[in-house]
Amino acid sequence: MSIKRRLSEFGSKVQHLFKGGGDVALEKQKKRGKLTARERVDEILDNDSFLETDLFVEHSSTDFGMDRKKLAGDGVITGYGKIDSRPVAIYAQDFTVAGGSLGKAHAAKIVKVMDGAGTKKIPLIGINDSGGARIQEGVDSLYGYGEIFLRNTTFSGVVPQLSIILGPCAGGAVYSPALTDFVFVVEKISNMFITGPQVIKTVLGEDVSPEVLGGAKTHTTVTGNAHFYAKTECEAFKQVKRLLSFLPANCLEAPPAAKPMPPVKSISDNVIPDNRRKAYDVTDIIKGLVDNSDFMQVHEHYARNIVVGFARMDGKPIGVIANQPRYLAGVLDVNASDKAARFIRFCDAFGISLLTLVDTPGYLPGVDQEHAGVIRHGAKLLYSYSEATVPKVTIILRKAYGGAYIAMCSRHLGASTVIAWPTAEIAVMGAEGAANIVFRKEINASDDPEATRQAKIQEYEDKFANPYVAASKGYVDILTEPHKTRDIVIKAFEFAGEQDHGNSFRRHGNIPL
Partner 1 sequence: MPGENELRKLNIDETIYETEVPPSFDQRWSPPDAKHIKAFIPGTVIEVKTKVGTIVREGDILLILDAMKMYNEIVAPVAGTVEVIAVSAGERVEKNQLLVRLK
Task: Return residues touching partner 1 (CB under 8 A).
Answer: 203-206, 217, 220-221, 229, 277-279, 300-301, 304, 325-331, 361-362, 364-368, 371, 401-402, 429-434, 436
Q: What angle do CA 341, 347, 348 make, to 5 degrees?
A: 85
Question: Residue 500 in contact with residue 389, Cβ under 8 Å?
Answer: yes
Is the Cβ of residue 386 or residue 436 nearer to partner 1 in the bound state?
Answer: 436
Is the Cβ of residue 148 or residue 431 nearer to partner 1 in the bound state?
Answer: 431
Chain length of the chain:
513
Residues near 485 by beta carbon (within 8 Å), at least 6 away in sequence? 267, 289, 395, 419, 421
Is the Cβ of residue 221 or residue 446 nearer to partner 1 in the bound state?
Answer: 221
Question: Residue 113 in contact with residue 127, Cβ under 8 Å?
Answer: no
Give the shortest CB-208-to-partner 1 separation in angstroms.
13
Is the Cβ of residue 31 or residue 278 nearer to partner 1 in the bound state?
Answer: 278
Give the shortest CB-65-to-partner 1 separation in angstroms.
30
Is the Cβ of residue 28 or residue 217 nearer to partner 1 in the bound state?
Answer: 217
Q: Is 335 left (phi over 0), alpha (psi -120 to 50) or beta?
A: alpha
Give the shortest CB-355-to-partner 1 separation in angstroms.
23
Is the Cβ of residue 155 or residue 401 nearer to partner 1 in the bound state?
Answer: 401
**Interatomic CA distance for residues 434 and 437, integer angstroms:** 5
Give the shortest CB-367-to-partner 1 separation in angstroms.
4
Choosing from 196, 403, 414, 433, the catalytic residue is 403
Choosing from 25, 404, 465, 492, the catalytic residue is 404
Please say if 319 is a catalytic residue: no
The Cβ of residue 445 has, within 10 Å, a number of other Cβ atoms equal to 10
Is the Cβ of residue 274 or residue 500 nearer to partner 1 in the bound state?
Answer: 274
Is the Cβ of residue 99 or residue 362 nearer to partner 1 in the bound state?
Answer: 362
Give the shortest CB-205-to-partner 1 separation in angstroms.
4
Residues near 4 by beta carbon (within 8 Å), at least 6 away in sequence? none
Residues near 476 by beta carbon (within 8 Å), at least 6 away in sequence? 396, 411, 418, 419, 420, 424, 426, 467, 470
Choosing from 138, 172, 196, 433, the catalytic residue is 172
CA dihedral 300, 301, 305, 306 (to 10 degrees): -20
Question: Residue 230 in contact with residue 44, Cβ under 8 Å?
Answer: no
Give the shortest CB-206-to-partner 1 separation in angstroms.
7
Backbone angles phi, psi at 395, to 5 degrees: -120, 120
Please say if 474 is a catalytic residue: no
Is the Cβ of residue 292 or residue 297 nearer to partner 1 in the bound state?
Answer: 297
**Interatomic CA distance for residues 78 and 11, integer angstroms:** 19
5, amino acid identity: R
Please say if 315 is a catalytic residue: no
The Cβ of residue 258 has, within 10 Å, a number of other Cβ atoms equal to 16
Give the shortest CB-275-to-partner 1 separation in angstroms.
9
Choosing from 118, 146, 157, 171, the catalytic residue is 171
**Interatomic CA distance for residues 354 and 324, integer angstroms:** 17
Give the shortest CB-430-to-partner 1 separation in angstroms.
4
In 3D space, the residue among 284, 285, 494, 484 whose CA is nearest the CA of residue 397 turns out to be 285
In 3D space, the residue among 72, 12, 40 whose CA is nearest the CA of residue 237 turns out to be 40
Backbone angles phi, psi at 218, to 5 degrees: -55, -45
Give the shortest CB-405-to-partner 1 separation in angstroms.
13
Q: Is 216 left (phi over 0), alpha (psi -120 to 50) or beta?
A: alpha
CA distances from 2 to 6, 7, 8, 14, 398 (A): 6, 9, 10, 18, 80
Please say if 415 is a catalytic residue: no
**Interatomic CA distance for residues 498 and 255, integer angstroms:** 14
Catalytic residues: 171-172, 403-404
